[in-house]
Amino acid sequence: MPRFDRRTFLATAVSAAACSGFAAKSSADATGLGDIAAAKGIWFGSWTRGSSLDQDGPYTAMYARECRLIVSGLELHWDAVEPQQNAKEFAEGDAIFNWTLRHGKKFRGHALVWHERLPKWFAGLSGRAAAESALVTHIRVTAGRYAGKTYSWDVVNEAIRLPDGRADGLRNSKLMEQIGPEYLDLAFQAAREADPGALLVLNEYDIELPTEDEPDRFQALLNLVDGFKARNVPIDAIGFQSHLQTKEHSAFDQGELAGRLKALADRGLKVLITEMDMVDRASPSDVAARDADVAAYWRDYLDVMLASPALVAVVTWGLTDKDSWITRGDLPEFKRSDGLPPRPLPFDTEYRPKPVYFAMAEAFKNAPKR
- CB 35 to ligand GLA: min, Å: 26
Judged on CB neighbours under 10 Å (0-12, 13-18, 19+), 181 is: middle
Residue 346: how many CA atoms within 13 Å on its side-chain side?
Answer: 27
- CB 110 to ligand GLA: min, Å: 6
Q: Which is nearer to ligand GLA, 90 or 325 (CB)?
A: 325
Sequential DSSP letters for 49-62: -GGGTTT-HHHHHH
HEC string of 182-211 equals HHHHHHHHHHHHHCCCCEEEEEECCCCCCC
Task: Please tell me the distance from the alpha carbon of residue 106 to that of residue 312, in angstroms, as a whole number.
Answer: 13
Q: Which is nearer to ligand GLA, 76 or 264 (CB)?
A: 76
Q: Is 214 a catalytic residue?
A: no
The interface mask with ligand GLA, positions 2-31, x = CB under 6 A, is: ------------------------------
Q: Which is nearer to ligand GLA, 117 or 166 (CB)?
A: 117
Residues 307-366 that bind ligand GLA (CB under 6 A): 317, 325
Sequential DSSP letters for 283-344: S-SSHHHHHHHHHHHHHHHHHHHHHSTTEEEEEES-SBGGG-HHHHTSSGGGS-TT-PPP--
Q: Which of 195, 206, 208, 275 binds ligand GLA (CB under 6 A)?
A: 275
- CB 33 to ligand GLA: min, Å: 20
The set of residues, in sequence order, having a beta carbon less than 8 Å from that of 328 and lying 6+ positions away, is none
- CB 328 to ligand GLA: min, Å: 8
- CB 72 to ligand GLA: min, Å: 10
Asked whether the bond before 187 is cis by omega within 30 degrees of 0, the reply is no
Task: Please tell me the distance from the alpha carbon of residue 186 to that of residue 136, in angstroms, as a whole number.
Answer: 7
Binding of ligand GLA at residue 157 (CB under 6 A)?
yes
Q: Which is nearer to ligand GLA, 66 or 154 (CB)?
A: 154
- CB 48 to ligand GLA: min, Å: 12
- CB 40 to ligand GLA: min, Å: 26
**Chain Cα centroid distance, residue 85:** 28
Task: Please tell me the distance from the alpha carbon of residue 154 to that of residue 199, in angstroms, as a whole number.
Answer: 9
Q: Which is nearer to ligand GLA, 116 or 286 (CB)?
A: 116
The interface mask with ligand GLA, positions 213-252, x = CB under 6 A, is: ----------------------------x-----------
Q: Is 103 helix (H, G, I), strand (E, B) or coil?
A: coil
Q: Is 204 a catalytic residue?
A: no
Q: Which is nearer to ligand GLA, 44 or 317 (CB)?
A: 317
Q: Is 171 helix (H, G, I), strand (E, B) or coil?
A: coil
Q: Which is nearer to ligand GLA, 169 or 344 (CB)?
A: 344
Marked catalytic residue, from 158, 204, 208, 362: 158
Q: Is the dihedral of CA 279, 285, 291, 295 positive or negative?
A: negative
Q: Phi first, then psi: what are they for 112, rounded to 5°?
A: -65, -40
Classify residue 367 as left (phi > 0), alpha (psi -120 to 50) or beta.
beta
* Residue whose C-beta lies closest to ligand GLA: 325
Count of residues of this chain found to bind ligand GLA when the rule CB under 6 A is applied = 6
Angle, nearest 10°, between helix axes 254-266 and 217-230?
Answer: 10
Binding of ligand GLA at residue 46 (CB under 6 A)?
no
The interface mask with ligand GLA, positions 173-212, x = CB under 6 A, is: --------------------------------x-------
The residues annotated with a catalytic role in the active site are: 158, 275
Q: Give the residues lining the site for ligand GLA (CB under 6 A).
A: 157, 205, 241, 275, 317, 325
